[in-house]
Structure 1
Amino acid sequence: MKYKKLILVVGILLSIPLIMFLVWIVYPKTKFVLAIVDKTVLDKDAQEHVSLSWILNYEKYAKTSEKRYQADHDYYGFFPEDKNHYSLKGLERFSEQQLDQLSIDADAVYFTDTYGVYTNEWYTERKKADQNAVIYGGLSKQDLVLLNLMKKKHKLIISEFNTIGSPTKLENRLQFEKLFAMRWTGWTARYFSSLDTSKNSELPRWLIKNYENTHQKKWKFKRSGIAFVNEAAAVVILEDTTHLTQPIPSIETSITGQSKYNLPASIKYPFWFDVIVPDTLINHAVSKFKIATNLAGQEELKRFGIPQNFPAVLEHDAPDYRFFYFSGDFCDNPVSIKSSYFKGIRFLDFLFYNRSDAMDRSAFFWTFYRPMLTEILKESK
């Protein structure tokens, strides 16, 4: 009798994934034309926008009435091919008429990454000491034309971290800032679990060199902390205990944002983000980055003009157009596209991440990015 019960339980457990997959199969497709721009694709896994592809596949959004999105080719940007070979299929090849047609056809546009691809990343035989030149990247004039057209047509526009950072030209950045009533301060930042050069071999050499040039003193940090990097190569370090009461930056979400987008009140975010300043008459912050400084940390930020709190999710939600700017590298998470074929798997998300590990990007996907973007797309649909 015990063996029969055990077999029954095992059978039920094994049937759950099959049922979830069959439900996903019969779930109806919804046509939703999303123009995805990704200029930083180093392999066919398309890591920089795979989180977006996961959501599109899970929710059964389709680019036509029948064809679903595929992460490796349904985007505009850099396309890796065989070793050291690539093709460029960005908006730069579009005429004004083609861009206008795209703005008519597309329900929304999402700029997931414009940082681009560089020689030291792409050509594996090159030495790291060689000049690291950009192969392709930056927000282009054609990108701006499409953004302007989408805004005029009252469409959904999403962009995120580094959309207007290097290697985007200054004139293009200024146009973007004017178009969407926000300003990049020139600062980007991220958390490092150890600032000790003897323990953390992954600390960038340029970070240490630029800090020493900025402050005219040696790098002597030993604990964890946050590195702020300016486009002019200035570096500011906030070290745990010395400058910080909590070393890992957090994203704090308003009560309205929690309710509207199913977001947690607070979540740690130890990855790259940029510091932006919005026009609060036009945009509002759904979520904000919070740097937990002590008095010494406050003084250090103030000395370099860096705000202590700034938007993590910026929103313009009005009849004229919908706009979101994600200040972090939100779309880059290590999720498997295979799991998106199982309807209801979001209720088992705890199986896919370590809740106590702030460095687990999968946790950020399941608890913040997935619920937020799902709601944004549903509203637009």
Structure 2
Amino acid sequence: MLKKVIRIVVILLVLTPLLSFLAWYFTPKKYLTAAIIDKTVMKADGQEHISFHWVLNHNRYLKNSTSGYKVSTDYFGFFPKEDTVYDIKGLERFSKESLSLLSDDTDLLYITDTYGIYKQEWYAKYTEANKGKLYGGLSVEDMDFIKQMKNKKKLVIAEFNCLASPTPKILRVEFESLYKVKFSGWTGRYFDSLDETKNLELPGWIMKNYKKNHNGDWSFTKDGVVLVNDDSGTVVILEHGTHLDNPLPFIYATAEGQEHYNLPEKEKYPFWFEIMETDAAVNKTYARYQLATTEQGNQELAKYGIPKSFPAVMSHTGTDYDFYYLAGDFSDNPIGFDASYFKGIGLLKGFFYNAKEPSDRGGFFFNFYKPLLTQILEEANDKVNL
């Protein structure tokens, strides 16, 4: 009897992934031409845009009749090669006429990351003389393409750092006016430890800026949220216990967001986010961030005019144009691309992340990003095929 049970278990272990792959393979293919901008690709694995490619592949979206999207090649931006060699293949290469033709052929634009690459990050050894930007920020050509996409009623999706430094202020203002959103200047992130002696991932510039305005003091030891002003460099620290009852930022979906986009009512978000504003007469907000501040935390935020609740997902959809702004580094998730080849993989999502680990972004990907982008792409595909 035991041997029979073992045989059945072994057969199931072998057949389940095979059947899941076959179910994915025979899912009807769909065709969407997506232009993806990513200027922050340090490695060929393309972590900064892999989440979007994952959703495209999982839902069988192809770029043409024969080819799917490849993480390492199908985007515009920075392309790392061996050692310190790189290529830049952004929209800056295109003339106005070429951008117009590209917008004719493109169904949607997704700006996943424009922060860029800096010399001190790219080169293993550097001096003060060669610090600075290699490539990054929205360009005039990017903005021209964005406007053409809107004029042609094509879908545009943008997310965290599209409007922050190093995007020139004149282009930021133009984008804000075009889509009726506004970057407050504040970005933030959860850190599982603010102890500079223990957490080597704490950016040195954050501590340097804070110490400069606080007589060299940095006495934080617990986890918490760091807020940074893009214009002034001001750093605000919200530490667990002192300023926060719960140190993790959470995203709360509206009832409409839950119903229409299959979003969870509540999901933690432990990575980079930005504080945005939007014109409610033009854009709907489907989800909002919430910081669980104490009274002391409320006072600290009030001192700098920072809200404790702010939009996470904003959208305008209609016959005039379609637009989404995701106010976080949503496409940057450390996920395994191979899992996208298996239909129904979401049923096993609990095996792909640790819900008890505060900094784990796997839960956010499977519970929030995947259903959101799946619905957005489905609606985009329906419009293209009207």
**TM-score interval w.r.t. the shorter chain?**
over 0.9
Aligned residue identity for 2:221: K
Deviations 1:90-139 (CA, angstroms, capped at 9, x unpaired)? 00011111111111111110000000111122112336x66531101100
| Alignment of structure 1 residues 155-304 onto 2, 5 Å | 155-216=154-215, 218-231=217-230, 232-304=232-304
2:2 maps to which residue?
A: 2
Offset, 1:2: 3.1
Instruction: Name the CA distance, whole Å, in 2 between partners of 1:325 and 1:47.
Output: 20
Deviations 1:327-368 (CA, angstroms, capped at 9, x unpaired)? 111001111111111122122111111122231111111111
- Whether the 8 Å contact between 2:115 and 2:166 is mirrored in structure 1 is yes
Instruction: Name the CA distance, whole Å, in 1 between partners of 2:208 and 2:89.
Output: 37
2:132 maps to which residue?
A: 133
Give structure 2 stretches of 5+ with no counterpart: 382-386
Aligned residue identity for 2:280: T
Aligned residue identity for 1:303: K
Offset, 1:279: 1.3
With over 3 angstroms needed to count, the CA separation of the structure-2 counterparts of 1:23 and 1:326, relative to structure 1, is same
Q: TM-score, normalised to structure 2's length?
A: 0.95
Partner SS state of residue 4, structure 2? helix
Partner SS state of residue 340, structure 1? helix
- Whether the 8 Å contact between 2:192 and 2:359 is mirrored in structure 1 is no
Give structure 1 stretches of 5+ with no counterpart: none
- Whether the 8 Å contact between 1:42 and 1:117 is mirrored in structure 2 is yes
Instruction: Name the CA distance, whole Å, in 2 between partners of 1:342 and 1:223.
Output: 40
1:152 maps to which residue?
A: 151
- Whether the 8 Å contact between 1:154 and 1:321 is mirrored in structure 2 is yes
With over 3 angstroms needed to count, the CA separation of the structure-2 counterparts of 1:52 and 1:242, relative to structure 1, is same
2:380 maps to which residue?
A: 380
Question: Percent identity between the aligned chains?
Answer: 46
Instruction: Name the CA distance, whole Å, in 2 between partners of 1:367 and 1:162.
Output: 23
Aligned residue identity for 2:342: F
Aligned residue identity for 1:3: K
Deviations 1:308-336 (CA, angstroms, capped at 9, x unpaired)? 11111111122211111111110011111
Instruction: Name the CA distance, whole Å, in 2 between partners of 1:92 and 1:192.
Output: 35
Instruction: Name the CA distance, whole Å, in 2 between partners of 1:309 and 1:318.
Output: 27
- Whether the 8 Å contact between 1:29 and 1:66 is mirrored in structure 2 is no
Instruction: Name segments (4+ residues, structure 1) moved above 6 Å.
Output: none
Which stretch of the first structure deviates more once superposed, 206-215 or 64-73? 206-215
Aligned residue identity for 2:43: D
Instruction: Name the CA distance, whole Å, in 1 between partners of 2:114 and 2:371.
Output: 24
Aligned residue identity for 2:242: T
Instruction: Name the CA distance, whole Å, in 1 between partners of 2:350 and 2:69.
Output: 26
- Whether the 8 Å contact between 1:154 and 1:319 is mirrored in structure 2 is yes
Aligned residue identity for 1:181: K
Instruction: Name the CA distance, whole Å, in 2 between partners of 1:179 and 1:211.
Output: 34
With over 3 angstroms needed to count, the CA separation of the structure-2 counterparts of 1:215 and 1:125, relative to structure 1, is closer
**1:56 and 2:56 matched:** yes
Aligned residue identity for 1:256: E
Deviations 1:235-259 (CA, angstroms, capped at 9, x unpaired)? 1111122111211111111011011
Aligned residue identity for 1:271: F
Q: TM-score, normalised to structure 1's length?
A: 0.96
Instruction: Name the CA distance, whole Å, in 1 between partners of 2:258 and 2:32.
Output: 25
Aligned residue identity for 1:210: N
Aligned residue identity for 1:165: A
Offset, 1:217: 5.8
Offset, 1:209: 2.1
Partner SS state of residue 151, structure 1? helix
- Whether the 8 Å contact between 1:187 and 1:275 is mirrored in structure 2 is yes
Deviations 1:204-246 (CA, angstroms, capped at 9, x unpaired)? 2221221122344622222221111112111111112211121
Aligned length: 380
- Whether the 8 Å contact between 1:261 and 1:375 is mirrored in structure 2 is yes
2:384 maps to which residue?
A: none
Aligned residue identity for 1:196: D
1:333 maps to which residue?
A: 333
Offset, 1:12: 2.2
Deviations 1:17-60 (CA, angstroms, capped at 9, x unpaired)? 11111222222211101100111111211111111111111111
| Alignment of structure 1 residues 94-109 onto 2, 5 Å | 94-109=94-109
Instruction: Name the CA distance, whole Å, in 1 between partners of 2:31 and 2:204.
Output: 47
Instruction: Name the CA distance, whole Å, in 2 between partners of 1:272 and 1:8.
Output: 46
